[in-house]
């Protein structure tokens, strides 16, 4: 970041709180305290009304705002809540961009609204069960994928297929991003497979925008892809399961990790539809509900459940004998 951009960013940061410590600025922009003092002095010499309190930090005189935009309390609160979701449900590239945007939003608030957000920040939390960490996968490509989708540019990726434990190189034409089963998925035309494929974004090891344009006249839209998915791709089929209402409080806590799509009421039961290709994982989850769950389709999932139950029974029969 050059000095002009840094000075602008520091000014915006100073407007996000009532008082900002020099150490906070130093940490955020990775500069020394001496540089912080020099930059703040430069802003003051440029006419920005910055004051300071000994032992506390810097503040902008109330009423001074750089951007000509204002937000009311409800708008600012909704954006803070969105930030909590972004923090838990996106990758590093989106989190960084949103954090920068949120700082700009906070910078135009008055003192009362800043205090409101500071108080709200500590009383809202989003819990999301952490996925298995793979240090070799950077998980910071969502911003680049978004650009490629909009600009219709071919992406070159290295992708890890967990079902085959295999890393492959591919060129893909992206048509959209979709969030399900607690992960972001890139939907794209794969040149190697000559078909549409679903790539989990957090399993992409490397990604490069080739800047080669592709024509999308013959490509499906994201909506068309999902409508035709169960017809053209037998590996990822619709799963239909009926649960007793007595266990629904437990189901509701976990259903989104297994590609939940919809649910309907059926007397004393709930009929849920899932979109998921990992039937082994689904079967191991469903087995925890015992006879409170009935699998309607597919038949393959029923067979997997039978195998798991038999394996479990044999395991404990052998343990009793020993």
Per-residue pLDDT of the chain (322 residues; tens, 9 = 90+): 788 888 888 988 888 888 999 999 999 999 999 999 999 999 998 888 999 888 889 998 877 766 545 677 787 888 888 888 898 889 889 998 998 888 888 887 888 888 888 888 888 887 766 555 566 788 899 999 999 999 999 999 999 987 778 899 999 999 999 887 778 999 999 999 998 888 999 999 999 999 999 987 677 887 787 766 655 544 456 889 999 999 998 998 788 778 788 899 988 899 998 876 678 888 999 999 999 999 998 899 999 999 999 999 998 888 787 6
User: Is 153:212 a contact under the CB 8 Å cutoff?
Assistant: yes
Instruction: Give the pLDDT score at 113.
Output: 83
User: Is 272:240 a contact under the CB 8 Å cutoff?
Assistant: yes
* Cα–Cα dist 25/13, whole Å: 8
Structure tokens at 120: 């709200």
Domain 237-321 has CATH 3.30.70: yes
Phi-psi sector, 242: left (phi>0), alpha (psi -120 to 50), beta: beta
The 3-state DSSP class for residue 145 equals: helix
Distances (CA, A) of 37 to 4, 66, 114: 15, 20, 24
CATH class given for the domain over 3-60: mainly alpha
* Residue showing tokens 């009926």: 242
Among 87, 95, 83, 93, smallest CA distance to 204 is for 93
Beta-carbon neighbour count of residue 45 at 10 Å? 8
Give the predicted TM-score (pTM) of the model.
0.58
Instruction: Give the pLDDT score at 5.
Output: 82
Instruction: Give the pLDDT score at 234.
Output: 47
Among 288, 279, 197, smallest CA distance to 247 is for 288
**Fold: same for 142-232 and 237-321:** no
Query: Taking the domains of the chain in order of start, what are their residue ranges?
Result: 3-60, 73-121, 142-232, 237-321
* Cα–Cα dist 138/129, whole Å: 19
* Cα–Cα dist 77/318, whole Å: 58
Instruction: Give the pLDDT score at 37.
Output: 93
CATH class given for the domain over 142-232: mainly beta
């Amino acid at each position: 970041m050059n000095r002009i951009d840094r000075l602008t960013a520091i000014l915006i940061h100073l407007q996000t709180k009532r008082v900002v410590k020099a150490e906070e600025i130093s940490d955020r922009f990775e500069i020394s305290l001496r540089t912080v003092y020099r930059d703040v002095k430069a802003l003051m010499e440029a006419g920005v009304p910055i004051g300071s309190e000994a032992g506390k930090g810097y503040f902008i005189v109330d009423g001074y705002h750089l951007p000509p935009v204002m937000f009311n309390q409800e708008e600012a609160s909704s954006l803070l809540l969105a930030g909590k979701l972004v923090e838990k449900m996106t990758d590093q590239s989106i989190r960084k961009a949103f954090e920068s945007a949120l700082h700009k939003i906070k910078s135009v608030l008055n003192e009362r609204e800043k205090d409101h957000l500071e108080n709200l920040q500590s009383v809202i939390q989003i819990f999301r069960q952490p996925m298995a960490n793979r240090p070799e996968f950077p998980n910071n490509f969502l911003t680049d994928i978004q650009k490629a989708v909009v600009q219709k540019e071919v992406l070159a990726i290295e992708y890890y297929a967990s079902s085959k434990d295999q890393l492959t190189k591919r060129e893909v034409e992206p048509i959209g991003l979709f969030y399900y089963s607690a992960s972001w998925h890139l939907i794209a035309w794969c040149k190697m497979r000559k078909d549409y494929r679903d790539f989990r974004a957090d399993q992409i090891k490397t990604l490069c925008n080739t800047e080669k344009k592709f024509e999308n006249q013959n490509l499906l839209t994201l909506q068309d892809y999902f409508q035709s998915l169960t017809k053209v791709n037998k590996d990822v089929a619709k799963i239909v399961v009926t649960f007793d209402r007595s266990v629904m409080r437990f189901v509701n806590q976990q259903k989104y990790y297994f590609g939940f799509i919809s649910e309907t009421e059926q007397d004393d039961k709930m009929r849920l539809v899932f979109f998921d290709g990992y039937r082994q994982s689904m079967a191991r989850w469903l087995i925890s509900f015992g006879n409170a769950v009935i699998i309607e389709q597919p038949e393959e999932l029923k067979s997997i459940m039978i195998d798991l139950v038999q394996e479990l029974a044999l395991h404990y029969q052998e343990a009793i004998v020993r």
